[in-house]
Amino acid sequence: MAEKKGVKVYLVGAGPGDPGLITVKAVAVLNRADCVIYDFLANARLLEYAKPGSEHIYVGKKGSAKTIAQDEITALIIKKAKAGKLVVRLKGGDPFVFGRGAEEAEEIRKAGLMFEIVPGVTSAVAAPAYAGIPLTHRDLASSVTFVTGQEDPLKERSNIAWDKLSTGRGTLVFLMGWKNLPFIMTKLMANGWDVATPVALVRWGTLTKQECVVGRLDNIISLAETAGIKPPVITVVGDVVGLRERLNWFETKPLFGRRIVVTRALEQAGAFTALLEAEGAEPVTFPTIKTVAPPAWKPLDAAIKRLSSYDWAIFTSVNGVKYFFERLRFLGYDLRELKGVKLCAIGPRTEEAIVALGLNVSLTPKEYRAEAIISALGKKSIKGRRFLLARAMQAREILPVEIKRLGGKIDVCPAYKTIRPRKEAGVLKKELADGLIDMVTFTSSSTVTNFAKNFTKQELSRLMAGVKVACIGPITADTARELGLNVDVMPKAYTVPALAEAMAEYYRGR
């Protein structure tokens, strides 16, 4: 995306909360921003799209509790832009729908700076949609009106034509109206709205912690108090609210609202968390392993230099593929060194990583474990053959032991090492103690053992009581059981997508 000459500030809509609803253009702008100034309602995960080294400034704006006043925010935007930085002002929803984007744009223009608007998906539309409430319907509503819910009820003259809102009988959507909800309901009933008109309050719309309370104009206040609803809330008034019972799709996902701990390495957690979010879960990342280079490259370097002497190269993880081929290139070699060498991958994800490099995989066993590789190779294909195994520094010895027993020769070369990253476990311990975690997932034996190291034996038993455990395969499950954990979910296929699907099936059945 070419930078427009003179543009220093982009006022960008961050969408309603679900990070998947960010626009392609917004991502492109964030990729190039020098400074990102963001609000409370802009999902902080969107900062992952910002370029490395960019400055991120949180300016709050959480209801009435503002970290920085609006005029200070505008002054900050102008200051950063005048310093020569490309500034992204990341605002929840859409900048021009009750987002004060127009005020900021006016001041930016007065300062002699150029700006551009990148619209976002407004919560006024998205939150009801995620609650199963269409704002218009052929039989129920031909119009929709967006109304601010923050107008001071003590104002002498209202800017809202309350009497006119009752004439169209379309759908009304109030934004930021929680504080004034009793006033809004009273005004509508006083201006001709039937007390039985359906009302929906959608809290944290589009996020996995979304809540929705449905009532009528005359009882929604008491229902909201009983449910403990608090801001941020979108209020929808009109007959379309009655469709929620049939059209509620988001909150019926099998993992909806489940808080699930992901223990994978941070650089690999993204794909798994995306799968869980697609099923409605709220992933809690707690990486228990991190991959780093082995303490010495000598064994792997020696093997790479004699690659052509091997009959087979076996890879038992995506990490093994990554580190092996990075080292191959580092030493000045390329894929031609593998000519005549057959490649074996332990599972489909490892196979995909190899194929992505432009190589063919000769063998991927139907069951994704070391024993299955031995079975798939067969005795005749092992005896007298030379094998290279590029793997983690510490791993199960079943593969090299069996290949040697069957008459093969194998060089086991550490391509990477797994370590336990230093991460404070205090927050997770508290959430476990408070019953805020539904399930913990493990994708390798290392994730289990490193997770357990954060607790004493007594703590692990006490805090994990009632918490479900999902393991990617039998080896991981055995490790979990050895540490005193009950395993509730294990997929038939030992892959991350299969694990996510098995978890969804587990809760769907319940």
pLDDT in tens, 417-428: 988 887 778 999
Lowest-pLDDT range of 46-50, 64-68, 251-255: 64-68
Residue 157 C-beta-side C-alpha neighbours within 13 Å: 0
Residue 57, pLDDT > 70, answer yes
Q: Where are the domains of the chain?
A: 7-121, 125-247, 259-289+421-509, 292-419
Evaluate whether 74 touches 103 at the Cβ level (below 8 Å).
yes
3-state helix/strand/coil string of 395-411: CCCHHHHHHHHCCCEEE
Q: What's the pLDDT at 156? A: 63
Evaluate whether 432 touches 248 at the Cβ level (below 8 Å).
no
Is CATH 2.60.40.10 the classification given to domain 7-121? no
Name the DSSP class of 486: P
Share of the chain above pLDDT 70, in %: 96
Evaluate whether 172 touches 236 at the Cβ level (below 8 Å).
yes
Q: Using 50, 70 and 90 to split pLDDT, how confident is the model at 3?
A: very low
- The distance of Cα 331 from the centroid of its chain, to the nearest Å, equals 37
Provide mean pLDDT across the span 93-114: 93
Provide mean pLDDT across the span 174-184: 91
Q: Using 50, 70 and 90 to split pLDDT, how confident is the model at 169?
A: confident
Q: What's the pLDDT at 424? A: 79
Give the catalytic positions in this structure: 39, 61, 176
413 phi, psi to nearest 5 deg: -120, 115
Q: What's the pLDDT at 104? A: 95
Choose the CATH number for 259-289+421-509 among 1.10.3720.10, 3.40.50.970, 3.40.50.10090, 3.90.1150.10. Answer: 3.40.50.10090
- Partners of residue 13 on adjacent β-strands: 91
Residues 6+ apart with CB under 8 A from 409: 385, 386, 387, 403
* Measured distance CA(139)–CA(478) in Å, rounded: 58
**192: alpha, beta or left, given left = phi > 0 and alpha = psi -120 to 50?**
left
Evaluate whether 353 touches 321 at the Cβ level (below 8 Å).
yes
Q: Using 50, 70 and 90 to split pLDDT, how confident is the model at 161?
A: confident
> Which pTM value belongs to this model?
0.78
Evaluate whether 210 touches 250 at the Cβ level (below 8 Å).
yes
Q: Indicate the residue type of 11.
A: L
Q: Using 50, 70 and 90 to split pLDDT, how confident is the model at 182?
A: very high
Residue 61, pLDDT > 70, answer no
| pLDDT, the chain, mean | 91
Hey, which bits of 217-368 come out as E strands?
233-237, 259-262, 282-285, 290-292, 312-315, 342-345
CATH code at 125-247: 3.30.950.10
Say if 7-121 and 259-289+421-509 have the same CATH topology. no
Question: β-pairing, 342-345 with 259-262?
Answer: unpaired
Q: Using 50, 70 and 90 to split pLDDT, how confident is the model at 64?
A: very low
Transcribe 280-292 into DSSP letters. T-EEEE----EEE
pLDDT in tens, 260-305: 999 998 888 888 999 999 999 999 999 998 889 999 999 999 999 9
Share of the chain above pLDDT 90, in %: 75
**504: alpha, beta or left, given left = phi > 0 and alpha = psi -120 to 50?**
alpha
pLDDT in tens, 459-488: 999 999 999 999 999 999 999 999 999 999
Highest CATH level, class, for 292-419: alpha beta
Name the DSSP class of 31: T
The first and second tokens of residue 406, run together, are 């069957």
∠ CA 366-367-372 to the nearest 5 degrees?
Answer: 100
270 phi, psi to nearest 5 deg: -55, -45
Q: Using 50, 70 and 90 to split pLDDT, how confident is the model at 372?
A: confident
Provide mean pLDDT across the span 106-120: 95
- The distance of Cα 311 from the centroid of its chain, to the nearest Å, equals 41
Q: Using 50, 70 and 90 to split pLDDT, how confident is the model at 155?
A: low
Q: Indicate the residue type of 60.
A: G
Provide mean pLDDT across the span 149-153: 73
3-state helix/strand/coil string of 43-72: CHHHHHHCCCCCEEEECCCECCECCCCHHH
